Amino acid sequence: MEVYAKLKYIRSSPVKVRLVTNLIKNKKVDIALNILNFTRKKASFIVKKVLNSAIYNAINNFKLDYNSLIVSKIYVDNASLIKRISPRAKGRVNYILKRTSHITIYVSNYK
């Protein structure tokens, strides 16, 4: 059985978040949390919150055992852009695109 948790509109680019999520794919949950504790990236704190949410969903809602859980799938998708304007010479404009992302983590029983 797969249980998931989502976090939407993270104020971090999907490329930076994928660097962290690729570290914990197909790992047991306790090892994945340990990896996230020692990863020195801003996104590791956010991914850890989503992973904890998926773990608690599996334990409380579906009565799954903590020791048998693994991180089965992780999706990091593009969300909407936040657009800012920077003035340039001769009345021109530069656009600053601030990227956001959606994170979805699936946790399932170890087979």
pTM of the predicted model over 0.75: yes
pLDDT at 111 over 80: no
**DSSP state letters, 56-107:** HHHHHHH---GGGEEEEEEEEEE-PPEEEEEE-GGG-EEEEEE--EEEEEEE
The per-residue pLDDT for range 36-57, each reduced to its tens digit, is: 999 999 999 999 999 999 999 9
**Which domains can be identified in the chain, with CATH numbers?**
2-109 (3.90.470.10)
